[in-house]
Amino acid sequence: MDPITQMAQDFVKSWQRFRQSGKARLFRIDTQPSMHHDLWRLFRASEMAPDNRSPYLMFNMPFANTNDFYAAAIDKLRSDYALVREGLAKDGVQINELKIDPAKDCEPEENFARAVHVAWQGLNSQFDYLMIVFLPETIENGQEWSETIERLMPLLPPSEARVAVADTPEGVLADLCARLKKQAFVGRFILSSGEMQDYLLKIAAGGWSAISGSSPPTTKPSKQNARGADSGRLTGDLAVGSASNVLTAEDAAWLRSCMARAAIASSDRKSDEAIEALREAQIVCKKNELTGHEGIIVIAIANTFVATGSHDKAIAHYEEAIAIASKASSPVVVTQARVGLASTLFHAQNYDRAAHEYEQAAADARAADSEIMHIETLRMAGTCHNVCGRSNDAIRCWSEAVAIGSTISLAEIRASTIDQVGQAFVSLCEKHGMKEQARSVTVQIEAIKQQALLRERHTAEPSAAH
């Protein structure tokens, strides 16, 4: 397993224990500023998890002094609250505007805590608690950072908010965590760029055997065997089915090198270099008619453009990936590309076209036999229709998503977003005064879960008896 994946998995396990704890209040992140960008993305992914019921209020302003930091944090809280309020309104849930009046005679920590309390008063009917995440771009004074976090913690009741905070490389928050004992958790999210580069370049030079403990061959294999071996490694690296064409040893080595350089550049936020390396990889795939692999690489290029905010270029590349993957008859890759396209359109507020693409992605997901993705794409298609005022189309999409739920396993139901579909469906019905329909949807989804549970128990009984 690569170092980033291992680090992320270990961190997520610690984060889940923190979220599930009934006593925890503070999560200290052992990290460094260069990792904050990736941490931010990981937290956003965690916020979108189906089982999460806590909005993440995330702050990355530099810490120079408490007055400036908390003033900026309160401003960011206002904007985050407004986004949450807007999102709830689209689902038919109305909450009050956030009105914060900082007191001149209060300490900065007190004013921020008061602002969080006011925000919680507006949101508590919808969520379990608020997740406050501090990831400062820079921390000029580590000692002052430790002191302000220690002053802030008693001001935030655990029933209203929990706090995750980035430590300095020196670990100035370690003593505070020791004093809080079981109320504090620690997660490590730190990896030197040299450690990751060594790993990637080993793969580029010698394939997966370079890191798996096996020795590379001492003599060059026959051309036929070399082609077969390299094709197998390539297939694994790109996570697709076996290729209809195989690569020469030279092309396979060059492709690994391109992908390694792209990963290193992306890790260092050098988007132009990452795109250049990916384009070279695409040329190798095109030359060898590895169409499915080429589609995945074009998706990676599109994702890189999304990360840099170049939405028009991202859209063009997602469209290119769809065309390439369609030619390769690869519905899984088509679905990935289509979802990327629809998501980019959604964030660009082009809801009308996003609705169309999400419905197309739903058809692709069905062709790929991915019921979980089928439900999610229908959920988002309905959301887009709802934003555009097309309630009947929203109901059509959400009804189809609920119907899929009756055909899948309990594990798939739990991994899907069918609960969110139900919540949006119910909100829309209540908004239009359709109380019986809203109640019917709630009953239907609960029945789907109960039926899946019964099927699972029925399936397990013969094995248990045996």
* Residuewise pLDDT in 10s, the chain (466 residues): 556 667 888 888 999 899 888 888 999 999 988 788 878 888 887 887 777 888 899 999 999 999 999 999 999 999 888 888 888 887 778 888 888 877 778 899 999 999 999 999 888 878 889 999 999 988 999 999 999 999 999 999 988 999 999 999 889 999 999 999 889 999 998 865 555 455 544 544 444 444 344 333 333 333 333 333 333 323 333 433 333 346 777 887 788 778 878 877 876 778 899 899 999 989 988 888 888 889 988 998 998 898 888 999 999 999 999 999 999 888 888 998 999 999 999 988 999 999 999 999 999 999 988 888 999 999 999 999 999 999 999 999 999 999 998 888 888 888 888 888 999 999 999 888 988 888 999 899 899 888 888 877 776 655 444 4
Q: How many CB atoms lie within 10 A of CB 65?
A: 12
On whether residue 424 sits in a domain, the answer given is no
Domain that holds residue 53: 3-190
Side chain identity, residue 186: V
Question: Domain check: are 144 and 209 in the same one?
Answer: no
First-residue to last-residue Cα distance in the chain: 37
On whether residue 402 sits in a domain, the answer given is no
Number of domains, the chain:
2
Question: Domain check: are 158 and 303 in the same one?
Answer: no
Instruction: Please report the pLDDT score of residue 209 as a whole number.
Output: 41
**Cβ-contact 418, 401 below 8 angstroms:** yes
Question: Domain check: are 208 and 289 in the same one?
Answer: yes
Question: Domain check: are 62 and 134 in the same one?
Answer: yes
CATH number at residue 16: 3.40.50
Instruction: Please report the pLDDT score of residue 323 as a whole number.
Output: 95
Give 70's contacts (C-beta < 8 A, 6+ positions apart).
108, 109, 111, 112
Domain boundary among 167, 190, 213: 190
Domain boundary among 190, 211, 231: 190
Question: Domain check: are 200 and 233 in the same one?
Answer: yes
Angle between helices 3-20 and 36-47 (to 10 degrees): 50
On whether residue 448 sits in a domain, the answer given is no
Question: Domain check: are 278 and 218 in the same one?
Answer: yes
Domain boundary among 348, 370, 391: 348
On whether residue 14 sits in a domain, the answer given is yes
**Cβ-contact 412, 371 below 8 angstroms:** yes
Question: Domain check: are 67 and 208 in the same one?
Answer: no
Question: Domain check: are 82 and 137 in the same one?
Answer: yes
Integer-rounded Cα Rg, in Å, for the chain is 25
Instruction: Please report the pLDDT score of residue 226 as a whole number.
Output: 32
Question: Domain check: are 169 and 264 in the same one?
Answer: no
On whether residue 460 sits in a domain, the answer given is no
On whether residue 166 sits in a domain, the answer given is yes
For residue 248, CA distances in Å to 217, 241, 281 come to 16, 18, 14
On whether residue 270 sits in a domain, the answer given is yes
Question: Domain check: are 299 and 164 in the same one?
Answer: no
On whether residue 358 sits in a domain, the answer given is no
Side chain identity, residue 270: K
Question: Domain check: are 242 and 121 in the same one?
Answer: no
Q: How many CB atoms lie within 10 A of CB 111?
A: 22
Instruction: Please report the pLDDT score of residue 386 as a whole number.
Output: 93
Question: Domain check: are 201 and 328 in the same one?
Answer: yes
CATH number at residue 283: 1.25.40.10
Six-digit token pair at 167? 């430590």
